[in-house]
Structures are given as structure tokens and as C-alpha cells.
Structure 1
């Protein structure tokens, strides 16, 4: 297209080094010392920007997951205690009408969650009923996995055969993948109705698991095809630019299908229910499916940041538009889900899924590309190199020639960046810290359990003493 040779794609960027004293020197082996101490190395800036963005994202995600786990899995929390929720959940400092209404709905949802979980635990099934339920679950999972296999075969066939056709056929693969992401959850909802899960939480987790398997397998297959497609592009064309173009197509097609789902799945369906069927019920807003779509779009952005540097800006614009569109549709067309949601636990689940497999999968894909895949020889900032990682070694050699006073950077690169022992040492320290925190939490839970038993024993002692006092008082009255 017209934007192929623009800032949007990898192939536009060059491998030049600005303010390079060695480039202006008449003798390439000797560099003048009066030049700038740190030349502006375009390949290094390119890979450094990607690395820093992933590092900052990793830190923020780890902190968010840790903070969310702290909220949803508090030590000694009284989750499941109906008495505490009934008598102690209300905040008497709330006086505004809107806030009172929201708090009332929140407490009502929490009570529904607890009652649904207790009802699922209390009901007992016979052996024949358990075998029948297990058979239904087995068949449902077999159908869902078979559908995933069929989707994978369809995506594999299209990805291998569409490049021999005309250029307009390139939109077929993003169209089919987005169509599968929109239609397969409907099949999984039908399977969930057939399964009739007793626990609402189990029903939500099963739906999330099935959708996650589909999206993970399809995206993994696409990553494999993208890395092997570099032999398909011509020598004048960057295979990295081909991957960037396809990722733009996937992001735009995902946005289009989200708009279509909002239009036909929410607006048109509400009009049909109200005008034709004369029902007051509105379509439910599927929180799990919408959040999984957000995770899918963010995964595409992380995968494409190396091949399309401005793809995060496109994703931010897409999310901004989707926020206001979904907000308007939610308020006008949808009703709250009938399934009770444990908001804190679901938030933790979604953040965990965003971190793994979404972020870690994208980081693994890009790490393999940087360390093991040979870049294009005719375009891009890493042309002529065996791997993208070699650009760091070349930069260190340039620093040695241009300014001997900063040779410590080469030492740091050799003993810190390239030293595998440091990586394993840091990993071991992190694992030790995690194990220590786990043991501390277990010890706190053990102490809390003992304190609860002690409080229960104290209550029994007080009941015994009160009964003795009553008996003594009655004996005195006689």
C-alpha cells in the first residue's frame, strides 16, 4: 500500500549512526577523540525502545497482578460467611442516593454469589447422575477441542495458500480469524447450556478456558507462520514489513468485528426484543468475552511492536473509541449479567491471563526473533546482521573505537548482559523470595486458624459459664 515505506513499518528505518566520528574519519580504523562521546545508533535505539517498553510493561503487570491477588485472596478473609455479609457489609457513611443504590446492588450481587456457591456445594448427586454429568462434560470438551482443531486447520490452510493469489485476498485470513473469534463463543455458550454447571464460577471459568485455548492456539499458529513467511517475500521486500502489514490488518479487522458485534449483537437485538417480541428483557453484557477480546487485541499489539513501531498508537486510538462505544451501548442496550460475578477474583483472573499467556507469549516470540531469526538483508535497521542481537555487540565495538574512556560499558555488556550465570542467579533470588512469601502466608493462615479455634473455644466456655450461672440462680430461687 501507500504506507509501506513510512514510519509505520520496520522496513522504513535505516541502519545509519548519526554523529559517528568513525564515519567522518579518513582512516576507518582510527577515530578522532574530539567527536561526540556517544553517537546516535539507530539500530540500538530501535531495539532499546522495544526492550524498555516491554520491561516497563512487565513491571506494571507484575505489580498489578500482585496487588490484585492481595485484594482477592486476603489472608483470613471471611469469604463465604453469610452472617458477616448480611450484618456487616453496609457502609453507614454513604448518604448520596446514587452511591446508596450502587452499594445496595453490590451487596445483592455478593449475596447471590455466596448463595449460588453454597447451593452448588449442598446439592448431592447419585452415582448415575454423576456418571451422566461426567459423560456430558466429556462430550462437551471433545466438541470444543474438535472445533479448535477445525479452526486451526482452516487458519493453516488459508495462511499457506492465500499468498499465491491476488493482493486483495490478503484480507481473507484476518477476516476468517476475526469471524472465528466472534462465532466460536456462541458455540461454547450452547455447550455451557447443555452442560448445566452447578457452580456459576465454574461455568465462567470453563467459558474463559475454552475461549483462551482457541485464541492461544490460533495466535501461536500465526506466529509460526509469520516467522516462516520471510522466505515467501521477494528479495526487494522486507519480511518484517509483511508481518507488520498483516498485524495492522488483524487489529483493524478485530475493531470492525467488535463494532459489528456491538451493533447487531446489542443494539439490533435489543430492538428485536422490545419492538417485535414485546419483551422488557435486554441482551446481557458478556464481561468475560469482552475482556478476552481486549486481551486478544493487546496481544496483537505486543507481537507487532517490533515489526510495526506505531502499532501501539493505533491500539490506543482503537481502545479510546471502543471505550465510549461500549459505554454507550452498555447503558442503552444491555442489562447486567444474570450470572453472579465475584468482581475481585475475576479481575485477578483477567490480569493473570493478560500477563500469562498474553504478555509472556509475546515476549517469548519477540525474544526468539531477536536472538535466533536473521533479519532482512536489504532493509531495516538490522540489515546485514546475522541476528538482531548482534547490533548490541557492534555498538560496543564502536564505543571502544570512538572513546576509550567508556570501555566500562563493554565490560558491563560482557559480564552482565551476556552472562547467563547472572540470569540464573537473579531467577534463583526471585524464586527464593516467592517461596519465602508463600511460607509467610501459610504461617499467617495457620496462626489465624488457631486464633479462630481459640475464639470458638472461648465462646463455648462462656456458654458453659452462663449455663452454670443460670442453674445456680435457679437453685437459689428454689
Structure 2
């Protein structure tokens, strides 16, 4: 008798079910995993495939950066604090990718054809350059001015156009960063907001707010107490809002208006002071350590002014704690972006028309901002967390142990990444500094967290906060940096004495020269046609924008439809539950009547 061919059980599993099975096996111990795979109702080949998938997942987790530290932080402080470290790690990957791309396509070719930088006589490394970024560094490949404008290819090496390499490397990196941010933001929004229901209120706090990643016994007891206090506060706030008279509500609205006007005025005033300080510094042109004055003032503003913003919550009295966090975030974003906007305006309008190699000057200014910002973050960890812990436990015990301010620390990361994105054109190796900075910052914050902070008292929706942070990173952070880089490449004339685009009207002129060269080469006319009729056509960008708007509208309608379907399904569950509860009552009533 001929046996029928055995159909693989694994082929019946969808990819999601297979991934879920592998995930469950990875969570087991080695002995339990071997026994579970042996007991699976599958053929030997299917079991071998599942075992291979589990082993690959384990190997990938073993090589994953900071996995053990992440689990430790999540177990003691919950997913809200853990979201900061995940965000830091995510930004670190951006900078590692940026460094690999810039170093591979821009710096290495420059070092191959010109291994020694053109250092003027009398200029040597003195050590202060590590803080200022000027002096010896200004003549190296650290900045825009250290790169050649010639097509390399002497001495038997193949030809390499530095202008095209510089332009396409920066452009490709910014496009890929934008695509990654849009994908991450859309994915996070779909997962965290489509199913969100703001009307659940206390039911969500009671049934769904427990963080199961917390495993530390002391942290569990503290979170139970915090949840009890949070429920009491929530109920008292609702009663207070319901009983609030009209005069008190008008008073609250007046307080909100006053605090917002004050915070906005402080942000604009700080931006104006930075601009005038920049003007004074450029007129005096102080060398050496004096160049650190401006980044010192900028970092001091970013450290001190948010502390004043945090005092507003004492008089605003938001009934919803999330609205209070959102207000702090918006105020800090306005402050930081107004300062960066003033700096970019000054660089594009004044510096670009004053200095001979202005791109390197801007790169040095961004280098100093990154370095001094890192120093102030370390000081903020000491004064903001360590001293607060000492004061709260030794001097004024009513203050208690401080909490880790996730919103403020994440905004510091967004500000630092914005500096790196703006400087990608002026200093291609600036991501190296950012990588070192984020590595040290991870361990510094981890030590400060475990030694000085307690788990948060309020269990906020960390997943939705992470979506908001990604959205802020995209706009205004990335969009603003992209606008700065695009304006520089498409509008501003490059320096005549340094850099790969010296002698050109704009950076984009290198593409026009390349198209003119390709027009005379057989087989490349189609590239010239695409450039002239597609890339340089306003109709093309109009159609692309129209298609994007149509897709946004379609996905918005799909999202609204899913939300409506979820509401209907929930109502159906309530109706079914009500009918099941009323069924036995009807039967009892009928029996009693008989």
C-alpha cells in the first residue's frame, strides 16, 4: 500500500502564528524548550525548522545591545522610564548608520587620495580643540572645508567624483531618516492610538494600567500604593471639576492664558538674547576658549528655563495629568526650536556672507553646541537628580526621592539629535561625537536612575507618549533640520576657497554639471530626460503631493472606520452580556408564575 504524502503541519501555520510559537519557546528555559519542541505534533523537519528559528532568535537576543540593562530598568521602573532608554538606543542607531555612510562614501575616498590634511604652518594640536572644535580640527576631514572638489583618480585609482559623493550621501541619508521616521510614527500610531479609548477613565486605571514588566518586589509594593493614590486623586479631580463654579473656571482659564503667554515670551526673549550674543561674538571674534561662551549660554537656557516651566504646574492645576505633561512638552519644544531657529537664521544670513569658509565655521559652532550640551546634561543629572535625592532624603524628607523626568530627558535627546541632523552637511563626522555622547549618556542615566530615583507615582500610557516623542522628533526636529540643509544646498552659494563645491553657484549646480556630462555619453540620455522633465518639473511635485494627500485621506477614513467598528463591537459585547444576565432572571420569573 502506498502511503499518501504527509502534509507539513508547519505549512498550515501563518507567519504570525509561527513567530508567536518561536517567541513562546524562546521565553522557556533550555530544558523546557527541548521538551516542548519534542512534544510538538509536527514532523521531524518541521521541528528542526522551529528549533533553528528559536536558536537564531536566542543568538540575536544575545548580540542585542543593552538587552540585560533594558530588562533591569523595565523590571524596576516600568515601561515609562524604559521608553527613554529605548528612544536613546534608537537614536544611537541613526547616528551609527550616519557615521558608516559618511565615513564610507565621503571620508575614506578623501583619505585615500589625500591621506594627510593641509595643516598650515604654526597650527598644532593643543588639546583645547576637543572642546572648541577649532584650530587643528578646522583643517581636517572633520568639517566641510577639509574635502576636495576634484574628481579623484590619479595614481592608478578609479575616478571618484567628490562633489556627487558628498551631495548624494547627505541627500540619501536625510531621505532614509525621513522614511524611517514616517514609518515608525505611522506604525506606532496605528498600534497605540487606534485601539485607544479615552472614555474608559477609572476602568482603564483599575483594570489595564498595571505594568507587568515590573518584577522587583519593592517596586511592586510601591506601584500598588501609587495606583491606590492615583485612583483617589482621579475620583477627587472628577468631583472637583463637576462642582467647579463658573467663576473658578474663568479664573483657571485666565491662569492658563497667563502662563502660556509668559512661557512663550520667555522662549522668544531667550531666542533674541542668543541672537544678539551671537552678533557680539562675531564682531569681537574672540579665539580659543572664548568661543564656548555662546554654547554655554544656550545650554544654560535649556537647563534653567524648563525648571521655571515646571513651576507653572503649581498654579495651573490641570485636572488631567497627561495634559500637564503635554503642556510641559510643548513649552520646551517651543523654547528649544526658537533658539535653534535663531541660530540657523544667523548662520544662513550673517555667517554665510561674512566668512570665507563659512561652512566650516558653522560646523565648528555645531560641534561646540553638541559638546557643551553633553556637559550640561551630565551636570543636570548631578544637580537635578543626585542633589534632589540628597535633599529629599537627608534635609527635607517631605520632598521624598525624586522621579525620573522622562519628558524632559527625551526632549534633551531630541534637541541633541536635531543638532546632529543640522550639522550633517557642515561636519560629516559629527555623528562620531554623537555616538560617543549617547554611549556615555546611556550608562550615566542608568546609574543616576538606579541610585537617585524612584519608580513613577503615576502610571501613564508610555506607549502613547513614545508615539508623541517620535512625532516631535519628526516635526519640528527633522523637518526643521531638513529645511536648513535643503536651503543651504539649493540656495546659498558655497565658499570659494574650501570644500567640495567651491566655485559653484549652489551645491545643486554639481548635479547640473553632471547632467551636462552625461548628455554627451551614449546610453545615459534617459537619465538626463528624467532629470529635466521629472525632477525639475513642478507638475511632478504637485502630483506627488496630491497622491500623498489622497493616501492620507484614505488611511484616515480607514482609521475612522476601524474606530467605529470597535465601538460597535464593544456595544455588541455589552448587549450580549446584558441579555445573558437577564436570561436567568426571566426563567426564574416564569417558573415562579407557573
Output the TM-score relative to the length of structure 2: 0.71
Of 192, 198, 203, which aligns to 1:72? 192
Aligned residue in 1 for 2:258: 139
Change (3 A) 1:98 1:439: same
- 1:337-352 alignment runs, 5 A limit: 337-352=456-471
- 1:445 equivalent in structure 2: 563
- 1:180 is displaced (CA, Å) by 0.4
Could you list the per-position Cα deviations for residues 188-229 of structure 1 after superposition, in whole angstroms to 9, with x for gaps in the alignment? 111121212221111101111111111111111110001012
1:46 to 143, 166, 175: 166
Distance in 2 (alpha carbons) for counterparts of 1:390 and 1:118: 64
Residue 330 of structure 2 corresponds to which residue in structure 1? 209
What does residue range 265-414 of structure 1 map to in structure 2 within 5 Å?
Answer: 265-277=384-396, 281-401=400-520, 403-414=521-532
Question: Shift of the alpha carbon at 1:311?
Answer: 0.7
The reply to whether residue 178 of structure 1 matches residue 299 of structure 2 is yes
The CA distance in 2 between the partners of 1:303 and 1:171, in whole Å, is 19
Deviation at 1:364, TM superposition (A): 1.0
The answer (yes or no) to whether the contact 1:76–1:448 under 8 Å persists in 2 is no
Shift of residue 397, structure 1, vs aligned partner: 1.6
Contact 1:75 1:441 in 2 (8 A): no
Superimposed CA distance per residue, residues 282-327 of structure 1 (whole angstroms, 9 cap, x where no aligned partner): 2221111100000000000000100011111211111111011111
Q: Following the alignment from structure 2 to structure 1, what is the Cα–Cα distance between the partners of residues 583 and 419?
A: 67
Q: Give 2:34's aligned residue.
A: none
2:314 is the alignment partner of 1:188: no
Q: Does the alignment pair 1:473 with 2:594?
A: no
Provide the rounded CA distance (Å) in 2 between the counterparts of 1:408 and 1:107: 67
**2:143 paired with 1:9:** yes
Equivalent residue number for residue 75 of structure 2:
none
CA distance in 2, matches of 1:253, 1:242: 17
Residues 9, 309 of structure 1: 8 Å contact kept: yes
Q: Of 272, 278, 283, which aligns to 1:153?
A: 272
User: For 1:117 and 1:446, how far apart are their aligned partners in 2?
Assistant: 27
1:87 shift after superposition: 5.7
Judge conservation of contact 1:110–1:342 (CA < 8 Å) in 2: no
1:280 Cα deviation from its structure 2 partner: 8.7
Shift of 1:150: 2.0
Does 2:378 correspond to 1:244? no
Cα separation, 1, equivalents of 2:397 and 2:261: 38
Deviations 1:216-262 (A, max 9, x none): 1111111000101235644xx30111100000010001001011111
CA positional deviation for 1:81: 6.1
Structure 1 residue corresponding to 2:183, chosen from 63, 70, 74: 63
Q: Distance in 1 between matches of 2:168 and 2:324?
A: 43
TM-score by length of 1: 0.87
Q: 1:77 & 1:285 partners in 2: Cα distance? A: 27
Whether the aligned pair in 1 keeps the contact of 2:271 and 2:339 (CA below 8 Å) is yes
Let me know the Cα RMSD of the aligned residues: 2.9
- Taking a change above 3 Å as real, the CA distance of residues 328 and 51 of structure 1, as seen in their structure-2 partners, is same
C-alpha distance in structure 1 between counterparts of 2:397 and 2:205, whole Å: 38
CA spacing shift, 1:121–1:436, aligned 2, 3 Å: farther
**Using a 3 Å threshold, how does the CA distance of structure 1 residues 196 and 87 change in structure 2: closer, same or farther?**
closer
Distance 1:97 1:266, change over 3 A: closer
* Pairwise CA distance, 1:408: 2.3
Q: Could you say if the C-alpha distance between residues 216 and 83 of structure 1 is closer, same or farther in structure 2, counting changes exceeding 3 Å?
A: closer
For the 8 Å contact 1:89–1:107, the answer to whether it is kept is: no
Contact 1:72 1:345 in 2 (8 A): yes
The corresponding residue for 1:27 is none
Indicate if the aligned counterparts of 1:9 and 1:308 stay in contact, CA closer than 8 A.
Answer: yes
**Superposition deviation, residue 461 in structure 1:** 3.9
**Contact 1:109/1:341, CA 8 A, preserved across alignment:** no
Distance 1:299 1:242 in 2: 18
Give the structure 2 partner of residue 29 of structure 1: none
1:98 aligns with 2:232: no
Gap change, CA 1:286 and 1:53, over 3 Å in 2: same
In the aligned structure 2, how far is the partner of 1:40 from the partner of 1:347?
Answer: 42
Q: 1:231 to 1:392 in 2, by over 3 A?
A: closer
Larger relative contact order (Cα-Cα within 8 Å, sequence gap ≥ 6): 1
Q: 1:281 to 1:444 in 2, by over 3 A?
A: same
